[in-house]
Amino acid sequence: MESIKSKKITAVWIITILTLFVVSIVLGILMRLNQGGVIEQTPVAFYVNMTTHGLTMIGIWFVAGMMAVNFLLQRYVKTSHTVNILALVFTVVGVLMLWTSTFIGKFHAGWTFLYPLPFKIMWAKWATPVFYLALVVLVVGWLIWCLSLIAQILKKYSISQTFAWQHFKKNPKVETPPFILISMITLVGITTCLIAAVVLVALTAAEYFSKGAFVNDALLMKNLTYFFGHTIANEMLYLGLAVIYELFSEISGRPKWKTTWYVAIAWNFTLVFILTAFFHHLYMDFVQPEGLQIVGQLASYFASLPAAGVTVFSIFIAVYRTKINWSLPNLLFFIGTAGWVIGGLGAVIDATISNNVVLHNTLWVPAHFHTYNAMGNVLFSLGFFYWFATLDTEKIYSGKGTKLILSLLLIGGIGFLLAFYIAGADSIPRRYSNYPPELAAGIPLATMGAAFATIYLIGILIFFFNISKGCLKILSSPSS
């Protein structure tokens, strides 16, 4: 079971993540206010904020999923406290280095840092190597964490058991808990994309230090960038799903979910599809062979089907005509699943080649990924945070508090996302710091987005304030 040491580090993780989340939301609001003409930022300031916002958000919600899985995994296997602390240190150092490269060095190549942009120095010369060093620190820390968790799982379960292959047959002798299956599938996917990041950084460093003797292939670098970037942004959702599989039924007062043959098959397929879906980021790259573009479209379709279908089905069955103990965590899980599905549909629409011709690089793209993050994965993690903060104490919220937080998150989140979707459907491009007269329709929508994002931020601040009591209580409790 979870030790007090483990609870303390988890509390530190939660406070760190929510602090960084608040700062990143503020950066996002500043960007939308600038696009709306309410404030005036220089283009450099805008793109610095965009780079910092994107990478910090990806980073914090990835580690939010990881630390939740790490915490819950202790119900099944022993995990390393040292590695958990190491991951925390590497994450904090990595984020500080990243912010140094952006806020001080003015590095602003976007969170995708697409080759060869980082080599086109429009910022302090040292900012490019510091940015890549930050990536190295983050990737190495997370890779060690992943491999450590995988190793611990493999101490108790064989490879075939972790992937639940015995469930393909009738009456398996050993049952693989859904949490172990999903965690393993996701950790393997994360390991793969982190290794892609290592290859990417190694090739970048080779070019950087070769002084022209070696140059990279832009197509290879783009493939590797999205192999890492797209995959990690998606895998972090699956970490959240692992938490839901473990906690939703428990919090709702329902029997624990079990691994069935279709759950096992669905998640095994998910591993393959999620690792090949990134090809849909290269539809506009004419040199990419058509076969890979088709793989990208099909994998995008199929990646969403098994996990989403099975999860939505499981949750629907769990709540349909059933007495549920609704509380903030399972409501967040439930609403988060809806947000994840809606964002996923937006993603599938965009991943369809014929639609992508129209929607590519419009605000539709941030619309869908903000949907399954801000109204999906973030809510999964918030549900875990609340459940964790109230583990050893009576519930902090009254019914009114729960309603207020949910209302603010829902109204703020939906309004903020609508502004993106409407603008995307109107072909307003993404990544514009200001809109020229031809794109004037984007201006009021950006202001609207900022206003609703502020409502969402207020909801987060109230949530943070409330659960920080629980986290601080855990931190101040005696160690033994």
Partner 1 sequence: MFKNTFLTILIAGGCFLASGQEAPLSTGEEGNIYQKIYNAPLVTSTKQATSFEKLRKEKPLLLGLIFTRCSGVCNPFLLQLKENLQFAANNNSVNVVVLSFDPRDSITDMNSLAQRLDLENDLQWTFAVTDSILPLIQSVGFSPVWDSAKQQYDHDAFLVGINKDGYITKKLIGVRSANDLSLLISSVNNIFSPTYRLPGTNALFSCFNYDPTTGKNTPGLGLLFIALPAVVTVLLLILLSYFNAPKVG
Q: Which stretch binds partner 1 (CB under 8 A): 5-13, 103-111, 217-225, 465-473?
A: 217-225
Phi/psi at 358 (5° precision): -90, -40
Q: Is residue 224 a contact residue for partner 1 (CB under 8 A)? A: yes
Contact call for residue 212 and partner 1 (CB under 8 A): yes
Q: Is 151 in the site for partner 1 (CB under 8 A)?
A: yes
| Binder among 170, 287, 400, 436 for partner 1 (CB under 8 A) | 287
Which of 173, 286, 290, 479 binds partner 1 (CB under 8 A)? It is 286
**Identity of residue 245:** Y
Please state the closest distance from residue 150 (CB atom) to partner 1, in A.
Answer: 6
448-449-450 Cα angle (round to 5): 90
Euclidean distance between CA atoms 247 and 329, whole angstroms: 9
| Burial class of residue 28 in the structure, from the number of CB atoms within 10 Å of its CB (0-12 exposed, 13-18 middle, 19+ buried) | buried
218-252 vs 43-73: helix crossing angle, rounded to 10? 50
- Contact flag: residue 119 with partner 1 (CB under 8 A): no
Question: Minimum distance between the CB of residue 345 and partner 1, rounded to whole angstroms?
Answer: 28
Contact 229, 112 (CB under 8 A): yes
Query: 103 vs 432, which CB is nearer to partner 1?
Result: 432
Cβ-based nearer residue to partner 1, 156 or 403 = 156
- Tokens 């009591």, residue? 469
330/356 with CB nearer partner 1: 356
Residue pair 420/366 in contact (Cβ under 8 Å)? The answer is: yes
The answer to whether 199 contacts partner 1 (rule: CB under 8 A) is yes
Cβ 200 to partner 1, closest distance in Å?
9
- Angle ∠(199,203,208) on CA atoms, nearest 5: 145
Q: How far is the CB of 406 from partner 1 (least distance, A)?
A: 39
Confirm or reject binding of residue 358 to partner 1 (CB under 8 A): no
Q: Which helix (H) or strand (E) holds 357?
A: helix 353-359
Smallest distance from the beta carbon of 101 to partner 1, in angstroms?
Answer: 25
Residue type, 364: W
Judged by CB under 8 A, which of 40, 175, 217, 392 binds partner 1? 217
- Cβ-based neighbour number of residue 224 at 10 Å: 23
Name which of 276 and 468 has its Cβ closer to partner 1.
276
440 lies in the site for partner 1, by CB under 8 A: no
312 SS3 class? helix
Interacting residues with partner 1 (CB under 8 A): 147, 150-152, 154-159, 188, 191-193, 195-196, 199, 203, 210, 212-220, 223-224, 227, 275, 286-287, 289
